[in-house]
Amino acid sequence: MTSIIIAAIAAFVIVGVVLGRQTAQRKKEAIASLKEEKELISSVSIIDIANEEIDELGLRNIAGGTDLAPDVILRVWKDAPPDLRELPHTELRFVTEEDIEPADAPVDKVHLESSNLDS
């Protein structure tokens, strides 16, 4: 009877050790995976994301936007009236207020307009 109790305790301890090692291994794998994700995330900047969205929307094809900062292009685009955003990009232009260099232009000094206003 004593040997059965000792065998049961030994089996219980062995199972506990094996399960503990598996848990520790899973923790190590999870930590390694999180570190990889953190490295991937930290390598992407907000400007990269803005540039990607600008490219997806084709906003670089709009006249006057060449020297504007990506965040300015996106904000002006998103703040523009929907009917203006529906026009073909060839009919639009970014306009910077007088005496403001496009590269230094803040959002409130730039607007989007239809280039057909002149005709």
Q: Given this model, what pLDDT does residue 113 score?
A: 93
pTM over 0.85: no
Show the tokens assigned to 108.
């409130």
Q: Which residues pair with 42 in a beta bridge?
A: none
Q: Given this model, what pLDDT does residue 27 score?
A: 86
Q: Contact at 8 Å (CB) between 85 and 79?
A: no
Task: Tokens 């994700």: give the residue.
Answer: 37
Specify burial of residue 35 (Cβ count, 10 A radius: 0-12, 13-18, 19+).
Answer: exposed
Q: Chunked in runs of 10, what are the mean pLDDT values of the chain (119 residues)?
A: 81 79 85 83 81 92 91 94 92 92 92 76
Q: Given this model, what pLDDT does residue 117 score?
A: 62
Q: Given this model, what pLDDT does residue 119 score?
A: 44
Q: How far is CA 82 from CA 46, 97, 110, 115, in A?
A: 25, 22, 17, 16
